[in-house]
Amino acid sequence: MKELILIRHAKSSWKDINLDDFLRPLNKRGEKDAPFMAKKLKSLISSPDLIISSPSTRTKLTLKSFTDEFKYKNDLIFEQDIYEAPLENILSVLKNIEDKKQSIFFIGHNPGFNFLADYLLGGFSENIPTSGILKLTLDIEKWSDLKENCASLEFFIYPKMF
């Protein structure tokens, strides 16, 4: 069994409308929600074996809250292929994870994360809001075995729940 924890980046700022989307930082709510959700997640699970994150500014800033809270010192990969990516790209990234890695934090964006959750769960109709977190248990032995409807949802949490 593998574990995939999907973490959507915290709320980003649109203050500078001329700033490239990739470079947008977090807004005040995002700066508050990211560490809050990192604490919530820490109360539910242990540290991952690997973190894979989009390299965008808002995901890197979100990531920092989680690495700080978990005192994470293991492998960290910034993967361009999950920024504004179709489902096929996201699956390709996941299928290439080393099989010795059991638990993965995957930090990225919608709509890709919603497509991924829908695919892996065989249906997921909710929107993953900013700072939303899903823990999926995958009924696979190897990451390359990822397929439709191979996961079960352990939990889905987001800031407005609390």
The structure's pTM equals 0.96
Categorize the per-residue pLDDT at 19 as very low, low, confident or very high, splitting at 50, 70 and 90. Answer: confident
- Mean pLDDT, rounded, of the chain: 96
Distances (CA, A) of 134 to 2, 16, 17, 105, 128: 14, 30, 30, 10, 8
Structure tokens at 84: 């504004």
With cut-offs at 50, 70 and 90, classify the pLDDT of residue 129. very high
Residues 6+ apart with CB under 8 A from 119: 87, 91, 148
pLDDT in tens, 54-89: 999 999 999 999 999 999 999 999 999 999 889 999
Distance between CA atoms of 124 and 103, rounded to whole angstroms? 21
List the domain boundaries for the chain: 2-7+21-136
CATH code, residues 2-7+21-136: 3.40.50.1240
At residue 157, what are phi and psi to the nearest 5 degrees? Answer: -125, 155
Q: Tokens 């979100």 correspond to what residue?
A: 62
